[in-house]
A and B are shown apart, each in its own frame.
Chain A
Amino acid sequence: MSNHEVSHDYPQPFLGLTPRAVEAPHAHVLPKAVYFGVLGALLFLTVVTVATAQLDLGVFNLPLAMLIAGTKATLVASIFMHLYWDHKFNLLLFVSSLLFLSIFVVLSMLDTEGRGMVDHQRENFLPRDEVVEKAPDGVMHPGQPFGATAWDANHEAFEAKHPEGHDGGHAAPAGGHAAPAAAHH
């Protein structure tokens, strides 16, 4: 990049660094078949992931779905986004963003999953409806959950508008629709 010409056409137009027309570099062109092939693979994997989600594989459902999604993502990134042929630094950036993300998730979960290890009383924060039950005794009542009553009012207003059964098959099991317990004790 040595010794090229420098333009001295002052003043410059605002927001403009006037480009010069030069010989275009050669572009890396893939055959169309590759692109269509990748789409075919992506569609196939989509069908697979939907199909496997209908099976009950227990704990393996999620890892399997993530594995398929990961494969799809790799295909898109390496072929559609040309990472396979691109500067390796761009690949490094892409990978390191995933790396930093996993650091974020793993170290955060080291906390959220690890609470209560040395003392069960310091365990994880409790869902609202369980707070009362898990209190060591009658004294340490949790405070009123913030805005809980307004929450109830919302539900009541909604129920008035939509009589029971309005949402077809999604009706809650009996008693399952527990309002925040603290408000009613």
Chain B
Amino acid sequence: MTETTAAAHVGHDHGHDHAHGEEPNYLQASHGLKSWIFTVDHKRLGVMYLAAVSFFFFVGGLAALLVRTELLTHTKTIMDADTYNRFFTVHGAIMVFLVIIPSVPAGLGNFVLPLQLGAKDVAFPKLNLLSFWVYCTGAVMAVSAILIGGVDTGWTFYTPYSSTTSGSVVMMVAAVFVLGFSSIFTGMNFIVTIHKLRPPGMTWFKMPLFLWGIYSTSIIQVMATPVLAITLLLLIMERVIKVGIFDPALGGDPVLFQHFFWFYSHPAVYIMILPGMAVMSDMIAAFTKKRVFGYRFVAFSSLAIAVISFIVWGHHMFVSGQSELSSMVFSFLTFLVAIPSGVKVFNWIATMYQGSVSFETPMLYALSFLFLFSIGGLTGIFLGTLSVDVHLHDTYFVVAHFHYVMMGGTIMAFFGGLYYWWPKITGKMYFERTGQIAAIMVFIGFNLTFFTQFFLGSRGMPRRYYNYLAEFEDLHKLSTFGAYFLFAGLLLSLGTLVHSLLKGPKAPANPWGAKTLEWTHTASPPIEHNFHETPHAPAAPYDYDT
């Protein structure tokens, strides 16, 4: 279907009895607090998730700034060691469990996924609502654990430290347990939606790659999160009734805890990055007006990553005292997972070849993603190599590596996706120039903050250090100043979006000329039931012409 007929559709009056002769969009369809609290509309839930995630991103970011500020000098700067330990735990736990994991799937995914499928909603709208409120419950529990008693275990909760330290560890662990269920519900919902609610004509290989990415993510969410749940339950039991599974003083095995934890948490790394990759494919296609190069390879690489992610967790444990045999096997398997990630990046770059490349804000974030994720991925090779990892394990090299992947990857894609779908979500256009400036500030600030940490790590600066050797101070200062700059960029970026809500011009149905159903067949913002008629899938997933 061409763009003009789609536009005609969107504007077409279906004879519904409404003041303007047009159906109200999903934001106006009903009013009042209750219409949001009890909504089963995936779009409203997506918006609520985005609001919650943005809030916690801000909180987690503040914690990060405090941590970075403390590290300005090699001894005490603004807080004592125990406070510092609590702040880096807060930063890690909030960013992982409350921000990155739900950001793209539950936030953007909830909004976009049914639209891209031409569906009226996700398969289980009530479950979707439940998922959001479970998330909120978990968030409240996490915040109260942080405020009452505090948690100083790091987000990894390693035993026996976590099973013996004081503070509200049980509450925090229970919060993460609850958040896990939110994640599982979202994943289940998306798998069923993609399986059963595809529009006529949309075969698996005609789906936009965003859906492939989210689908793969959902598989990991469903398969891995229950193991996290049981791990956390065992940890709580270890603290409460001292079962003796993880605490060596009771006959348990602390390294076994790490197996349990990473069996979830390594796949969880892909729960975090796969949705970022999913957004990337759609953005690159839209801003080059080209079909994604190697569509099938990109699609299958998502699935491959999802499956292989389950068999590489031991690379977090090369020096943990696990058997040398495990280390060998896990190191080998780790290299395998690098291939599909690499394939994706190569294909995105190849997509730009002979395209029509424009540089709106989402594309700037997409290019940042390619740059930063490449660094994050390549530095992973150092860490996957057994002997090199012995030196680099638990140093700032690892910190820098996963920030390049998690923030340089997922958060960049998340911001890109947020800008990309912002007109669709809110019906407003943001101010392009400020968006671009913010994106460039974020890029510069990010590299300043984290590239320095590769130097620090390779020189032997251990992570989670409150005091450190004087040699490292200059680089730490640079990193901290970078963090301030990065924070300013992020604030400007969010500010641009908020500003557009107040002052932005009305967005057209398809400002980017993109080809997926949410752009071609709905208004901005969409009506409550998304489509007037169930749309037919286009002939190709990204049906651009020359």
Contact = CB atoms under 8 A, between A and B. Distances in A.
- Helix, strand, loop or mixed for chain A's interface? loop
Interface stretch (B92-100, B321-329, B464-472): B321-329
Given A2-B200, A8-B16, A107-B311, A14 B29 contact: no
Interface string B27-41: 001100011001110
Contacts of A114: 323-326
Nearest to A124: B253
A44 interface: no
B156 interface: no
A111 B326 contact: yes
A40 interface: no
Contact of B533 (A6, A12, A112, A116): A6
Contacts of A1: 200, 534
Contacts of B325: 110-111, 114, 117
Contacts of A118: 324
Interface string B241-270: 010000111110101100110010000000
Given A110-B323, A115-B323, A148-B249, A6 B532 contact: yes
Contact of B248 (A11, A117, A122, A125): A125
Contacts of B160: 146
A10 B324 CA distance: 64
A113 B532 CA distance: 61
Contacts of B317: 111
A39 B160 CA distance: 46
B90 to A, nearest CB: 27
B194 to A, nearest CB: 12
Given A15-B40, A107-B311, A122 B533 contact: no
Interface residues of A, number: 37
A111 B195 CA distance: 37
Given A11-B30, A146-B160, A6 B529 contact: yes
Interface string B8-35: 0000001010000001100001100011
B231 to A, nearest CB: 11
A104 B267 CA distance: 12
B57 to A, nearest CB: 29
Contact of A108 (B164, B248, B256, B528): B256
A92 to B, nearest CB: 11
A131 to B, nearest CB: 9
A15 B126 contact: yes
Nearest to B200: A2
Interface string A68-86: 0000000000000000000
Nearest to B242: A147
A60 interface: no
B322 A111 contact: yes
Interface stretch (A21-29, A46-54, A95-103, A169-177): A95-103
A10 B29 contact: yes
B507 interface: no
B418 to A, nearest CB: 27
27 contacts: A2-B200, A4-B534, A6-B529, A6-B534, A10-B23, A10-B24, A10-B30, A11-B35, A12-B30, A12-B528, A15-B40, A103-B311, A104-B310, A107-B259, A107-B314, A108-B260, A110-B323, A111-B259, A112-B255, A112-B256, A114-B325, A117-B323, A122-B321, A125-B248, A145-B249, A146-B247, A148-B249
5 cross-chain pairs, A with B, having the tightest CB-CB distances, nearest first: A146-B249, A114-B323, A114-B325, A111-B326, A111-B322
Given A3-B533, A17-B40, A128-B251, 11 more contacts: A2-B534, A12-B30, A15-B126, A100-B310, A104-B263, A107-B314, A111-B259, A111-B325, A112-B323, A114-B324, A127-B251
